[in-house]
Amino acid sequence: MSSSAPRGFEQPATLAPVLLYRDRARNVWQVSGDRAIDALNGLLTNDLRGPEPGSVIPCLALTPKGRPLADLQVWKRSIESGPLMLDIPGAGEEALREHFGRYLPPRFAKIAALEEAAVMRILGSAASAALAEVLGVESPLPPAGRITEFRFESGIVLVAGRAESEGGGWDLLATHDADLVESALAAAAESAGGRSISHETWETMRIERGTPRYGVDYGLENLPQETGLTERMVSFEKGCYTGQEVVARIHYRGHVNRRLVGLVRAGETPIAIGTELFDGDRRVGGVSSATTSPEFGSIALGMVRREVEPGDRLSTSAGGARTIEVRTLPFTHQ
């Protein structure tokens, strides 16, 4: 374990019984219309029709050339409960708005940004009790990928279970009174011996889990198969969607020339974001996210050429010392 940690990192986060994070890098849109699911299904990579109401469906939105515009979570609520919700990255919001404006017929589906809404994450061994206390419920909270809706003050809080690969716990989408929701959850977390965590701490946990962030680790210059997200976010069984031809052709008949990997440097010297990676004199990749993890030391995410294998060692300059080891992701499963 490294003795070095980024400034502001509350360590060890993994030992806290409750961790609360308000994800200000994500925004919320509402999609209304009788044919909203059908209209969106033709623009997103995952199957929106298959999962039953009350499901969260992770997707990508692609250009016609198969390049990612954004990652989304579609909150597919029941018919009685109202419109769909989209949880989107702020980094992709402008491009996604233009894309939907061009390809989404307004007579089928209408998009509205919810300026007062917020996305939050809560996890830890006591997270269930803290969340149930704030929402005033005794019934079990939803499992991974499923949604339960609760009344809170003047609005609705949608709660969805997170997969263990994402750290477990729950995602929350507060439609109104987000500051009140956050304050109540923070107080409950503190009472349980937990805390709210900083963006820097969440970034460290994200990198440990090997989760790429749109606009940081991948974007319009990438193909979906390079990101490691296709297993969760792409359906190869559904019908046509924008960019499908490129994605399907690579899946069934081709390959990509680079992919996202984990990177580790022994010792306490951090890996710098933007560092170029070399195999001998040949540049083979670069670093997109980096942190100092209390558990795993100096780690990073980066794209490398496909011929680079886990266990290979790379240098940060042409012909330099091989100080960076390539790892499979996530770090948390090693």
Query: 54, 214 in Cβ contact below 8 A?
Result: no
Helix (H, G, I), strand (E, B) or coil at 101: helix
What pLDDT shows up at residue 80?
Answer: 61
Cβ-count burial of 193 within 10 angstroms (0-12 exposed, 13-18 middle, 19+ buried)? middle
Q: How far is CA 268 from CA 1, 27, 188, 231, 328, in A?
A: 10, 35, 36, 34, 21
- Model pLDDT, residue 13: 59
- For residue 15, the model assigns a pLDDT of 65
Can you list the domains of the chain with their CATH numbers?
17-193 (3.30.1360.120)
d(CA 38, CA 43): 9
- From CA 171, how far away is CA 119, in angstroms rounded? 7
Q: Which residues of the chain have pLDDT under 70?
A: 1-15, 79-81
pLDDT digits (tens, 9 = 90+) for 258-282: 999 999 998 878 999 999 999 999 9
Please name which of 256, 257, 258 lies closest in space to residue 304, comparing C-alpha atoms.
258
**Bond prior to 270 in cis (omega within 30° of 0):** no
Task: For residue 215, give both structure tokens.
Answer: 């606009």
Residue 159: per-residue pLDDT: 97
Which has the closest alpha carbon to 306: 264, 248, 256? 256
Is 315:324 a contact under the CB 8 Å cutoff? yes
For tokens 């956050």, what's the residue? 182
Helix 178-191 / helix 127-135 crossing angle, nearest 10 deg? 130
Q: What are φ and ψ of residue 83, in 5° steps?
A: -75, 170
- Rounded distance, CA 158 to CA 59, Å? 18
Among 294, 300, 304, which Cα is nearest to 256's? 304
**Total residues found in the chain within this entry:** 334
Task: Check residue 82 and give its pLDDT.
Answer: 73
